[in-house]
Structure 1
Amino acid sequence: MQTPVIAALPAPSMISSVARLGLASLVLSTASLVLTRFDGSIAFIWANTGLVIAALSLRPPEQWRWLLPAFGVAMFAATVCFGMGLAAAAPLLAATMTEATLPAWLLRRWKGHFFDRVAGVVMFLLVAGVLGPLVGAVIAATAISLLTDASWERTAIRWFTSHGLGTITFTPLIMLLLRGEVGRWFQVPLREKMGPVAMLGLVAVVVAGVFLQDDIPLLFLPMLPMLAATMLYVRIGAAGSIVLLVAIGGTLSVTGHGPIHAIPTPPLSRILFFQFYVGCAALLVLPVSALLKQHRRAIRDLSQSEARFRLLSDRSADVILEVAPDGTILHASPSVTQVAGRPAAYYLGQHGFTLVHPEDQHVLWRAHRQALANPDIAHTAQFRSPRETPEPAWFEAALRGLGGTAGQGLIVVLRDISARKATELALEIAASTDPLTGLVNRRSFLQRLRNQIEHCRVGSSQGSVALVDLDHFKSVNDRFGHAVGDLALQAFARITAATIDRRHCLARIGGEEFAILLVGISPEEAQAACERLRHAVEQLEVELPSAMLEIEGPRVTASIGLVAIDPESDPATILNRADEALYRAKASGRNCVQVAD
Structure 2
Amino acid sequence: MASKTLPENVVKSVVATSAGYFVVAAATVSTTRFDGGVAFLWVATALLIARLATLRRSAWPAHLLSCGMAGAAVTALFGFGVEAAVPLAIINLCEAVIAATLLRHIRIPERPLESMRWLGGFVLTTGIVAPVVSGVGGASIAAIAINADFGTSFARWFAGHSLGALTFTPVFMLFFRDDVRARIRSTTRKRAAETAILLLLVLGTSVAVFDQDSMPLLFLPLLPVIFAAFRGGRLTAALSVVLLTVVGCTLTMRGSGPVSLMHGTIGDHMQFLQFYLAATVLTVLPISADLARRSNLIRKLRDSEARYRMLADNSTDIILNLDVDGRVRFVSPSITQLSGFEPSDLVGRNATLLVVPEDRASAARSHMMTLRGGGAMVSFEYRALTASGVERWFETHSRAVRDDAGVVEGVVSVLRDISDRKVMETQLFHAALTDPLTQLPNRRAFELELDRLVEHVDPQRSFGCVAMFDFDHFKQVNDNHGHEAGDRARRRRRKPYRGRRVRRPPSTRFA
Q: TM-score, normalised to structure 1's length?
A: 0.77
Q: 1:183 to 1:417 in 2, by over 3 A?
A: closer
Deviation at 1:154, TM superposition (A): 1.4
Deviation at 1:247, TM superposition (A): 1.3
Structure 2 matches for 1:256-275, cutoff 5 A? 256-275=255-274
- Asked if residue 336 in structure 1 is aligned to residue 332 in structure 2, the reply is no
Q: 1:118 to 1:462 in 2, by over 3 A?
A: farther
User: Aligned with 1:19: secondary structure?
Assistant: helix
Q: 1:28 to 1:473 in 2, by over 3 A?
A: same
Would you say the 8 A contact 2:88–2:141 is kept in 1? Answer: yes
User: Aligned with 1:488: secondary structure?
Assistant: helix
Q: Which residue number corresponds to residue 18 of structure 1? A: 14
Q: Which residue number corresponds to residue 250 of structure 2? A: 251
- Asked if residue 179 in structure 1 is aligned to residue 177 in structure 2, the reply is yes
In our comparison, the structure showing a higher alpha carbon Rg is 1
Q: 1:536 to 1:440 in 2, by over 3 A?
A: farther
- Asked if residue 214 in structure 1 is aligned to residue 210 in structure 2, the reply is no
Q: Which residue number corresponds to residue 46 of structure 1? A: 42
Would you say the 8 A contact 2:341–2:387 is kept in 1? Answer: no
Structure 2 matches for 1:538-553, cutoff 5 A? none
Would you say the 8 A contact 1:372–1:406 is kept in 2? Answer: no
CA distance in 2, matches of 1:538, 1:417: 54
Q: Which residue number corresponds to residue 411 of structure 2? A: 410
CA distance in 1, matches of 2:131, 2:385: 72
Which structure would you say has the larger RCO, counting Cα contacts within 8 Å and 6 or more residues apart? 2
CA distance in 2, matches of 1:224, 1:333: 46
CA RMSD of aligned residues (A): 3.1
Farther off after superposition, 162-171 or 364-373: 364-373
Would you say the 8 A contact 2:318–2:415 is kept in 1? Answer: yes
Q: Which residue number corresponds to residue 292 of structure 2? A: 293
Would you say the 8 A contact 2:38–2:142 is kept in 1? Answer: no
CA distance in 1, matches of 2:437, 2:297: 66
Q: How many residues align?
A: 506
Would you say the 8 A contact 1:375–1:401 is kept in 2? Answer: yes
Counterpart AA for 2:297: A
- Asked if residue 57 in structure 1 is aligned to residue 53 in structure 2, the reply is yes
Q: 1:400 to 1:158 in 2, by over 3 A?
A: same
Deviation at 1:131, TM superposition (A): 0.9
Structure 2 matches for 1:355-504, cutoff 5 A? 355-387=354-386, 393-403=392-402, 405-457=406-458, 463-492=464-493
Would you say the 8 A contact 2:40–2:271 is kept in 1? Answer: no
Q: 1:66 to 1:376 in 2, by over 3 A?
A: farther
Deviation at 1:339, TM superposition (A): 0.9
Q: 1:459 to 1:298 in 2, by over 3 A?
A: farther
CA deviations on 1:45-87 (whole Å, 9 max, x unpaired) are 1111111111111123233233222322222222223222221
Would you say the 8 A contact 2:3–2:11 is kept in 1? Answer: no
CA distance in 1, matches of 2:252, 2:118: 32
CA distance in 2, matches of 1:112, 1:60: 17
Q: Which residue number corresponds to residue 123 of structure 1? A: 121
User: Aligned with 1:469: secondary structure?
Assistant: coil
Q: Which residue number corresponds to residue 86 of structure 1? A: 82
Unaligned 5+ segments in structure 2 are none
Q: 1:213 to 1:179 in 2, by over 3 A?
A: same
CA deviations on 1:323-357 (whole Å, 9 max, x unpaired) are 22222222222222221124433333333245533
CA deviations on 1:255-309 (whole Å, 9 max, x unpaired) are 1112222211343332221111110110100111000000110011011100100
CA distance in 2, matches of 1:6, 1:164: 33
Structure 2 matches for 1:526-537, cutoff 5 A? none
CA distance in 2, matches of 1:537, 1:42: 128
Would you say the 8 A contact 2:80–2:145 is kept in 1? Answer: no
CA distance in 2, matches of 1:92, 1:537: 126
Farther off after superposition, 301-310 or 340-349: 340-349
Deviation at 1:454, TM superposition (A): 1.7
Deviation at 1:106, TM superposition (A): 1.0
Counterpart AA for 1:122: G
Would you say the 8 A contact 2:327–2:348 is kept in 1? Answer: yes
Would you say the 8 A contact 1:437–1:490 is kept in 2? Answer: yes
CA distance in 2, matches of 1:459, 1:136: 93
User: Aligned with 1:464: secondary structure?
Assistant: coil
Counterpart AA for 1:93: A
Would you say the 8 A contact 1:210–1:221 is kept in 2? Answer: yes
Would you say the 8 A contact 2:326–2:351 is kept in 1? Answer: yes
Would you say the 8 A contact 1:172–1:239 is kept in 2? Answer: yes
CA distance in 2, matches of 1:33, 1:382: 76
Would you say the 8 A contact 2:323–2:329 is kept in 1? Answer: yes
Deviation at 1:462, TM superposition (A): 7.5
Structure 2 matches for 1:141-160, cutoff 5 A? 141-160=139-158
CA distance in 2, matches of 1:355, 1:257: 75
CA distance in 2, matches of 1:250, 1:315: 61
User: Aligned with 1:415: secondary structure?
Assistant: strand
Structure 2 matches for 1:514-593, cutoff 5 A? 589-590=506-507
Unaligned 5+ segments in structure 1 are 496-532, 541-556, 560-588
Deviation at 1:92, TM superposition (A): 0.5
CA deviations on 1:405-424 (whole Å, 9 max, x unpaired) are 44412221112333433443
Farther off after superposition, 305-314 or 232-241: 232-241
Would you say the 8 A contact 1:29–1:48 is kept in 2? Answer: yes
CA distance in 2, matches of 1:536, 1:329: 63
CA deviations on 1:477-525 (whole Å, 9 max, x unpaired) are 3443332222222225x86xxxxxxxxxxxxxxxxxxxxxxxxxxxxxx
- Asked if residue 37 in structure 1 is aligned to residue 33 in structure 2, the reply is yes
Q: 1:460 to 1:368 in 2, by over 3 A?
A: farther
Would you say the 8 A contact 2:377–2:398 is kept in 1? Answer: yes
Counterpart AA for 1:346: D
- Asked if residue 67 in structure 1 is aligned to residue 63 in structure 2, the reply is yes
Farther off after superposition, 476-485 or 133-142: 476-485
CA distance in 2, matches of 1:24, 1:400: 55
CA distance in 2, matches of 1:28, 1:381: 68
Q: 1:53 to 1:301 in 2, by over 3 A?
A: same
Counterpart AA for 2:467: A
Would you say the 8 A contact 1:455–1:461 is kept in 2? Answer: no
Q: Which residue number corresponds to residue 563 of structure 1? A: none
CA deviations on 1:444-466 (whole Å, 9 max, x unpaired) are 32122122112114787985322
Counterpart AA for 1:65: P
CA deviations on 1:136-166 (whole Å, 9 max, x unpaired) are 1101111221222111111111111111111
CA distance in 2, matches of 1:400, 1:422: 28
Deviation at 1:95, TM superposition (A): 1.4
